[in-house]
Amino acid sequence: MAKKIIEPIKGTRDFYPQDQAWQNWLYNKARIVSQSFGYQEYEGPVLEPFSLYAAKSSEEIINKQSFVISAKNKTVQDNLILRPELTPTLARMVASKEYQLVFPLRWWSWGRFFRYEAPQKGRGREFYQWNLDLLGQDCPNADAEVITIGIRFLSSLGFTSNEIVVKVNDRKYLDEKLKIIGIADRKKLAVFRLIDKKDKVSTSDFQAMLSEEGLTKLQAQDLCLALKDTDYSGESAWLTELFSSLSDLGVDDWVEFDQTIVRGFDYYTDTVFEAQSKNNQGRALFGGGRYQNLVANVGGRRNIGGVGLAVGDMMIREALADLNCLPILSSLTAQVLVTVFNEELFRHSLLVADQLRKAGINIETYLDYQTPLAKQLDYANKKKITKVIIIGPEEAVVDKVTIKNLSSGQQKLVKQKDLISELKK
Amino acid sequence: MAKKIIEPIKGTRDFYPQDQAWQNWLYNKARIVSQSFGYQEYEGPVLEPFSLYAAKSSEEIINKQSFVISAKNKTVQDNLILRPELTPTLARMVASKEYQLVFPLRWWSWGRFFRYEAPQKGRGREFYQWNLDLLGQDCPNADAEVITIGIRFLSSLGFTSNEIVVKVNDRKYLDEKLKIIGIADRKKLAVFRLIDKKDKVSTSDFQAMLSEEGLTKLQAQDLCLALKDTDYSGESAWLTELFSSLSDLGVDDWVEFDQTIVRGFDYYTDTVFEAQSKNNQGRALFGGGRYQNLVANVGGRRNIGGVGLAVGDMMIREALADLNCLPILSSLTAQVLVTVFNEELFRHSLLVADQLRKAGINIETYLDYQTPLAKQLDYANKKKITKVIIIGPEEAVVDKVTIKNLSSGQQKLVKQKDLISELKK
């Protein structure tokens, strides 16, 4: 009886060469824009202590959507977690070298993250994320730079401000509103979490949820009104400077002030932002914000604030697919196959292949000399390799090789010493 | 009271930009050699079902050295495992597209792996591994190609055959010896596992362990004698052809036949090999072998065999450090800092920076216009940025900028339109 093929875990992905070519393409887009602004690549562990996230990240993500590994050694207090996001790791790394690192510090990273949530379009249990952060420069211009980098990235993928809007808010500005409405400081994070979900529920449900948190009907109504406010001028110097800087950076047609944007992480203190697809239920393509206390929260002694963004690979892919903008990529690495005529000429073929490799040309060699030439050509055709090199006894004796072009069908006899220049043509 | 900085998990690593530059350097070395032989990059999930490894990989690694996550949903039979190695994933991926993929198939991958073992020099709980496999070409030449690629990789890092020996064996050849000695087939895997550990124990302990597995004293003695055999000629056509092919590929001074090499994975059926550091207790730099049944074992219907190698990043780093051969790498991405003179000229600096970025030059901008210029230059010096651009009111009014070279101390006033060509000099 034939066995069933073992299935991968739900929400994980296999990256066949074609898929990996896409991942590499996306990584390179992120790398190029990060480097153009002088950001340096870094990476953290996949396994982190649970305590790193507890009470500093997002309650929902940490308690409901994380892969947790129980500590084997029972004297170890801490369980392990598969990182659901990178900012706490960044804060930990910065804190532990806070007196050696040079600030302002510009870092970016590309890595894997894990969330135990129901897989759906654009969301998996394993995904890649691009993170970019600027620490130790506490001015709205820093936030404007990070937002601009996110926009430049989307623009390099083919998106325009016709499809994308980046909604920007300031939690501090919203804090003030909450104070005026008379919402106690201790209720702030809970109210922020509800605002973050506002889009997904009706106005009456939203008000009911606020009332559950202990807000009066009037407070709830006032909050709904405040969230509709679109004019910060005269009230927020921070937002005024931020939007002016975004304009200086040439991205004003992409950005928009929106009081309902708060983002899901508890550590954000000031600017928060989210890039949304205009024609797709506001799907978020990137998000981020400023965190002034996170480095200190993980044990740092210096008061180092930062601002950062994160972009997931799966949402980007979905959004590009919706626009019919997915790039056509080849996963082929060698354009040339050196065939092998028979056992006697095997070594000869290997030597030719090696000579070409040393000249920087990627070469596949057919290794089974018992396979008829026709079948070797068949393999090259199936693989879409464009050129095949044949060295039969007649060619070998006069130090020549035949180059066969599989797309045109033409073939050419060239001297072995001219082969490199011929292939590089 | 100052809090303690949260510690990372034992056996994990933080990759600061300098460390990440090393990881990227190593990845690129692996990429270049893989591609030069026509291998295509792929990747699998980090989370895999436990059943994928059970009884097919290494008993020790799976049961004692793996991070396991209990399935949350109790109806799910399977626990999750953080992948300790890649070959079972590769087999699963190949099996599930066995009728679409074109064979011979040449794939390589670079990714993260996890083992719950005591961290020690060259070994961590999280590590990177380069994997390279050739499937669907069942001849010794395929094995010779994979071994050669491993050697080319080490050679591209600076190693020579003075420091490294690649020991090669054939499990089938050893099978025959075991049969002649009268060791039952069902004891084979257990005996292989003991041979794999032979180097770490004394001869008497080794014989005692064999006796525990039910071998007679005579059988144990015969086995020890057989393991000393260095001459396969006339007895093994496979090994004869393999070593002849390795010689054709020009790596004969690196390789050596050794009957005691069996490697730790149960799925190897034929050729097995291991690159060892000569002057460092035989530390393994890469290992691999041929697995004829693995694709079928995970559910494949076609009989697809393969051969592959794996290289860990940590051992390589240790070995390069021992030889004083670690490369000197820069983690700096921007060589130029555009300073900002004051609030009025901020926009001007941003525009100059952006113009340079569009010309492909990586640029950092100083974003806080309240920071005195001297402090901005101090930042550039600390960061080892070589060139600084200054645009004061005098420069701005005549469309010029000052370029200051921080290593020579020289500065130069250039027209803004000549800036790109000046920096690209």
pLDDT of residue A33: 98
Per-residue pLDDT reduced to its tens digit, A189-229: 899 989 988 888 898 999 999 999 999 999 999 999 999 98
pLDDT of residue B24: 98
Average pLDDT, chain A: 93
CA separation for the pair A396, B164 (Å, rounded): 35
Per-residue pLDDT reduced to its tens digit, A58-87: 777 777 888 888 766 654 457 889 999 999
pLDDT of residue B69: 84
Structure tokens at B296: 């079928």
pLDDT of residue A55: 57
Sheet containing B363-365: which strands, arranged edge to edge?
A: B363-365, B336-338, B387-390, B400-405, B411-415
The alpha-carbon gap from B93 to the nearest alpha carbon of chain A, in Å, equals 7
Q: Residue B378: which CATH number? A: 3.40.50.800
Mean pLDDT, residues B353-360: 94
pLDDT of residue A264: 87
Structure tokens at B398: 């005549």
Global pTM reads: 0.95
Residue numbers in A near B52 (CB within 8 A): 6
Per-residue pLDDT reduced to its tens digit, A359-387: 999 999 999 999 999 999 999 999 999 99
Containing A127, the helix (H) or strand (E) segment is strand A126-135
Closest in B34, B298, B363 to A6, CB measured = B298
Instruction: Give domain status of residue A8, yes or no.
Output: no
**B80/A23 touch (CB, cutoff 8 Å), yes or no:** no
CA separation for the pair B185, B214 (Å, rounded): 12
Instruction: Give domain status of residue B130, yes or no.
Output: yes
Question: Same domain, yes or no, for B180 and B69?
Answer: yes
Residue numbers in A near B21 (CB within 8 A): 41
Instruction: Give domain status of residue B40, yes or no.
Output: yes
pLDDT of B280 > 80? The answer is: no
CA separation for the pair B70, B76 (Å, rounded): 10
Q: List alpha helices for B55-109, DSSP H.
A: 59-64, 87-96
Size of interface A-B (CB pairs under 8 A): 257
Residue numbers in A near B68 (CB within 8 A): 69
Mean pLDDT, residues B117-129: 87
Instruction: Give domain status of residue A6, yes or no.
Output: no
Does B7 touch chain A if contact means CB atoms closer than 8 Å? yes
pLDDT of residue B72: 65
pLDDT of B57 > 80? The answer is: no
The alpha-carbon gap from A183 to the nearest alpha carbon of chain B, in Å, equals 30
Region label for A134, one of left (φ > 0), alpha (ψ between -120 and 50) or beta (otherwise) = beta
pLDDT of residue A77: 52
The alpha-carbon gap from A57 to the nearest alpha carbon of chain B, in Å, equals 14
Lowest mean pLDDT among A308-322, B170-184, B195-209, B403-417: B195-209
Sole residue written with tokens 């991958």: B109
CA separation for the pair B88, B54 (Å, rounded): 10
**A357/B37 touch (CB, cutoff 8 Å), yes or no:** yes
**Which residues 276-305 of B have a C-beta within 8 angstroms of A?**
298-301
Question: Same domain, yes or no, for B145 and B292?
Answer: yes
Does B63 touch chain A if contact means CB atoms closer than 8 Å? no
pLDDT of residue A123: 83
Tell which of B322, B344, B378 closes a domain.
B322
Question: Same domain, yes or no, for B235 and B363?
Answer: no
Closest CA to A417 of A347, A328, A355: A355
> Domain range for residue A384?
336-424
The alpha-carbon gap from B114 to the nearest alpha carbon of chain A, in Å, equals 9
Closest in A23, A41, A250 to B24, CB measured = A41
Mean pLDDT, residues A231-255: 95
Instruction: Give domain status of residue B123, yes or no.
Output: yes
pLDDT of residue A59: 76
CA separation for the pair B347, B338 (Å, rounded): 12
Mean pLDDT, residues B117-122: 80
B78 or A267, higher pLDDT: A267
Closest in A12, A245, A362 to B38, CB measured = A362
CA separation for the pair A140, B395 (Å, rounded): 26
CA separation for the pair A332, A126 (Å, rounded): 26
Closest in B3, B39, B354 to A333, CB measured = B39
Does A141 touch chain B if contact means CB atoms closer than 8 Å? yes
Question: Same domain, yes or no, for B64 and B124?
Answer: yes
**A38/B364 touch (CB, cutoff 8 Å), yes or no:** yes
Grade residue A282 by pLDDT with cuts at 50, 70 and 90: low
Question: Same domain, yes or no, for A78 and A221?
Answer: yes
ipTM for this model: 0.95
Mean pLDDT, residues A296-319: 95
Grade residue B65 by pLDDT with cuts at 50, 70 and 90: confident
pLDDT of residue B73: 61
pLDDT of A149 > 90? The answer is: yes
Residue numbers in B near A49 (CB within 8 A): 6-9
Mean pLDDT, residues B361-386: 96
Grade residue A41 by pLDDT with cuts at 50, 70 and 90: very high
CA distances to A111, A221, A262, B363 from A129, in Å: 6, 38, 20, 24
Mean pLDDT, residues A172-180: 94
**A43/B300 touch (CB, cutoff 8 Å), yes or no:** no
Q: Which amino acid is at B192?
A: F
Mean pLDDT, residues A74-102: 88
Residue numbers in A near B386 (CB within 8 A): none
Tell which of B300, B322, B344 closes a domain.
B322
pLDDT of residue B1: 47
Question: Same domain, yes or no, for A264 and A119?
Answer: yes
Phi, psi of B12 (to 5 degrees): -105, 165
Question: Same domain, yes or no, for B63 and B207?
Answer: yes
Tell which of A293, A322, A351 closes a domain.
A322
The alpha-carbon gap from B15 to the nearest alpha carbon of chain A, in Å, equals 5
Instruction: Give domain status of residue B137, yes or no.
Output: yes
Instruction: Give domain status of residue B268, yes or no.
Output: yes
Question: Same domain, yes or no, for A308 and A208?
Answer: yes
Containing A108, the helix (H) or strand (E) segment is strand A105-114
Domains contained in chain A, number: 2
Question: Same domain, yes or no, for B40 and B153?
Answer: yes
pLDDT of residue B75: 45
pLDDT of residue B55: 57
pLDDT of residue A1: 47
pLDDT of residue B117: 81
Does B31 touch chain A if contact means CB atoms closer than 8 Å? no
Tell me the helices (H) and strands (E) count for chain A, helix number first: 15, 16
**B8/A48 touch (CB, cutoff 8 Å), yes or no:** yes
Nearest-5° Cα angle at A366, A365 to A367: 100
How many CB atoms are located within 10 Å of the residue B206 CB? 20
Per-residue pLDDT reduced to its tens digit, B217-244: 999 999 999 999 889 988 999 999 999 9
Sole residue written with tokens 């895997």: B189
How many CB atoms are located within 10 Å of the residue B276 CB? 21
Grade residue B77 by pLDDT with cuts at 50, 70 and 90: low
Instruction: For an interface test with A, give the residue of B24, B27, B36, B146 to mutate (most A CBs within 10 A).
Output: B36
Instruction: Give domain status of residue A155, yes or no.
Output: yes
The alpha-carbon gap from B223 to the nearest alpha carbon of chain A, in Å, equals 34
DSSP-derived pairing of the beta strands A363-365 and A387-390: unpaired
Closest in B69, B107, B248 to A67, CB measured = B69
User: Coil, strand or helix: which one is B338?
Assistant: strand
Does B8 touch chain A if contact means CB atoms closer than 8 Å? yes
Question: Same domain, yes or no, for A125 and A268?
Answer: yes
Average pLDDT, chain B: 93
Question: Same domain, yes or no, for A159 and A281?
Answer: yes
Q: Residue B23: which CATH number? A: 3.30.930.10
The alpha-carbon gap from A45 to the nearest alpha carbon of chain B, in Å, equals 6
**A8/B106 touch (CB, cutoff 8 Å), yes or no:** no
Per-residue pLDDT reduced to its tens digit, B149-192: 999 999 999 999 999 999 999 999 999 999 999 999 999 989 99
Question: Same domain, yes or no, for A374 and A234?
Answer: no
